[in-house]
Amino acid sequence: MTLALTLDISGIEPETGAPAPDRLLAGNPEFTTWNVEEAPGGLYAGIWQSTPGKWRISYDEWEYFTILEGYSIVTEDGGVPVHLHPGDRMILRPGFKGTWEVLETTRKDYVIRL
């Protein structure tokens, strides 16, 4: 077993989903998630993608991500919109509340710590 892992999603069966109906604000976004790593202690890493739409988000976990494709806007409640394009990185800390709006299908890599 190697201790180095690439975020290669070939051969990984993706999970599909959508925002909970009570969080959906616009559109009909569909999520696709390729979870590449699930480590002890609640650490996850992989690739996530969403089609256009807007929904409310609320984080109990810590997440770091890089936008790989597309265009999204993340807005913290009471804050200013953050426009995210390929190459942009962000950390969302536990307690973050706001909205995620996908204007162009967006793909990101992520690391989540529960």
Burial of residue 101 (CB within 10 Å: 0-12, 13-18, 19+) is: buried
Whether 3 maps to a domain, the answer reads no
Whether 88 maps to a domain, the answer reads yes
CATH number at residue 103: 2.60.120.10
Q: How far apart are CA 55 and CA 46, in angstroms?
A: 21
Whether 5 maps to a domain, the answer reads no
Give the range of the structural domain holding residue 81, as residue numbers without chain letter: 15-113
pTM, whole model, 2 decimals? 0.95
- pLDDT given for residue 100 in this prediction: 98
- pLDDT given for residue 86 in this prediction: 98
**Can you say how many angstroms the Cα of residue 44 is from the centroid of all Cα atoms in its chain?**
12
Whether 35 maps to a domain, the answer reads yes
- pLDDT given for residue 79 in this prediction: 98
Per residue of the chain (114 residues), give pLDDT as tens: 688 999 999 999 999 999 999 999 999 999 999 999 999 999 999 999 999 999 999 999 999 999 999 999 999 999 999 999 999 999 999 999 999 999 999 999 999 999
Whether 70 maps to a domain, the answer reads yes
- pLDDT given for residue 65 in this prediction: 98
- pLDDT given for residue 2 in this prediction: 83
Structural domain count, the chain: 1
